[in-house]
Amino acid sequence: ATVDKGVDFANYFCTYAFLFHQKEMLSDRVRMDAYFNAIFQNKHHFLEKTVLDVGTGSGILAIWSAQAGARKVYAVEATKMAEHARELVKANKLEGVVEVIEGSMEDVTLPEKVDVIISEWMGYFLLRESMFDSVICARDRWLKPTGVMYPSHARMWLAPIRSGLGDQKMNDYEGAMDDWFCFSNETQTYYGVDMSVLTKPYSEEQKKYYLQTSLWNNLHPNQVIGTGAIIKEMDCLTATVNDILNVRASISSSITAENTRFCGFGGWFDVHFRGCKENPAQQEIELTTAPSEDNSTHWGQQVFLLHPPLRVREGDGLIINFSMNRSEENHRLMEVDLSCEIRQSSGNNFPPFKNKFYIE
């Protein structure tokens, strides 16, 4: 499956060409603090070193790398944002160190290999956008054997949650179908055309949209009703595209809330800045997008809803099979197959269920 560059721009890169969107990321204090601390508390990784920033956007990570003492920073950006990054570098008097290169990482040639690759490549639920592919490509071509990845590790998490969103979405879906029946009747009455054959495809389209598309949400920690489980661990120094094409995990979780509605699953990620074995971080930094009262991020969590919710009790066990693949139509979007068995402490068991979700 080769990717048409023009299509990829129309679907994906276009948003990054707006300062508005870069500003949203630059305003995410949890994100910013993590990268800032990772760099400035580990200056030994940057001092007199060469750095590659994959997808520099506004140029922020490249600028910090230079401020931390890098000898040379290559800042690669696919969109016109590169021009703004170049201005910003200049205004911060770092044009002697940071070289902004407009182009796709996959197409760029550097004059040398680098000591550090830094990148903020994480999409919703870590892998949406599939941008890590470009980081892997950069690493395999341009990182010295002794080089360091920033971040160095990444993990994906899944946990059972409760949420009112499901009721809302179910209402929306039912409202849409009521509308449809009304519309279908009127089309017959006024215009003599029988629409009923489209009821099923319409309902499927609406179901997909309202009930099967994962939702962005900022969960409160008390909405997490059971233990979280890791569904993917990645070493950014060694992971291959093949490792992330399909994320598959069999995990279990136990309900920790007393007696509650089990409404679906929340998914999130964290990344760590640990340097590498031969050249570890002096100060390990974590960036987590887990549900949090005070430290929420623009990534929020991805919510996968069950319809209807189920009643569960403390101690009930969940056996979960999770599988995520890229969508065939757009390699930057994901499809998830999620099945779950509930082992109730009471002994009665719900029938196991299996759902398909779309991360759009």
When CB distances are held under 5 to 8 angstroms depending on the partner's kind, the choice from ligand SAH, its own copies, none that residue 120 binds is ligand SAH
β 353-359/334-343 pair status:
antiparallel
Residue 310 carries which DSSP code? E
β 334-343/317-326 pair status:
antiparallel
Q: Between 298 and 343, name the residue whose CB sits nearer to ligand SAH.
A: 298
When CB distances are held under 5 to 8 angstroms depending on the partner's kind, the choice from its own copies, ligand SAH, none that residue 205 binds is its own copies
Among 137, 170, 195, 237, binds its own copies (CB under 8 A): 195
187 binds its own copies, rule: CB under 8 A: yes
90 binds its own copies, rule: CB under 8 A: yes
Amino acid identity of 256?
A: T
Round to whole Å and give the CA distance between 48 and 117: 14
Round to whole Å and give the CA distance between 186 and 268: 45
Q: Between 108 and 318, name the residue whose CB sits nearer to ligand SAH.
A: 108
When CB distances are held under 5 to 8 angstroms depending on the partner's kind, the choice from its own copies, ligand SAH, none that residue 209 binds is its own copies
Choosing from 95, 129, 233, 284, the catalytic residue is 129
What tokens does 137 get? 């490509």
Strand order in the sheet with 353-359: 246-254, 317-326, 334-343, 353-359
N residues, the chain: 360
Round to whole Å and give the CA distance between 265 and 225: 10
205 binds its own copies, rule: CB under 8 A: yes
64 binds its own copies, rule: CB under 8 A: yes
Residues that bind ligand SAH (CB under 6 A): 13, 16, 25-26, 55-58, 60-61, 76-79, 81, 104-106, 120, 131, 134
Q: Between 60 and 89, name the residue whose CB sits nearer to ligand SAH.
A: 60
36 binds its own copies, rule: CB under 8 A: yes
50 binds its own copies, rule: CB under 8 A: no
47 binds its own copies, rule: CB under 8 A: no
When CB distances are held under 5 to 8 angstroms depending on the partner's kind, the choice from ligand SAH, its own copies, none that residue 134 binds is ligand SAH
Residue of 217, 187, 190, 213 lying closest to 199 (CA atoms)? 187
Interface with its own copies (CB under 8 A), residue total: 44
Q: Catalytic: 314? A: no
Residue of 37, 9, 46 lying closest to 271 (CA atoms)? 37
Residue of 117, 156, 148 lying closest to 282 (CA atoms)? 148
Q: Are residues 224 and 266 in contact, defined by beta-carbon separation less than 8 angstroms? A: yes
The distance of Cα 79 from the centroid of its chain, to the nearest Å, equals 20
CB of 208 to ligand SAH, least distance (A): 19
Round to whole Å and give the CA distance between 292 and 113: 39
Token pair 């949650």: residue? 161
What tokens does 82 get? 């590169």
Q: Are residues 311 and 259 in contact, defined by beta-carbon separation less than 8 angstroms? A: yes
92 binds its own copies, rule: CB under 8 A: yes
20 binds its own copies, rule: CB under 8 A: yes
CB of 299 to its own copies, least distance (A): 19
When CB distances are held under 5 to 8 angstroms depending on the partner's kind, the choice from ligand SAH, its own copies, none that residue 241 binds is none
Count of C-beta atoms within a 10 Å radius of residue 314: 14
Among 15, 19, 250, 315, binds its own copies (CB under 8 A): 19
Among 82, 88, 244, 257, binds its own copies (CB under 8 A): 88
Phi, psi of 79 (to 5 degrees): -100, 175
Q: Are residues 46 and 61 in contact, defined by beta-carbon separation less than 8 angstroms? A: no
Q: Between 47 and 230, name the residue whose CB sits nearer to its own copies.
A: 47
CB of 241 to ligand SAH, least distance (A): 13
The residues that are catalytic are 120, 129
Interface ranges with its own copies (CB under 8 A): 4, 6-7, 9-11, 18-20, 23, 26-27, 29, 32, 36, 58, 60, 63-64, 67, 84, 87-88, 90-92, 176, 180, 183, 187, 190-198, 201-202, 205-206, 209
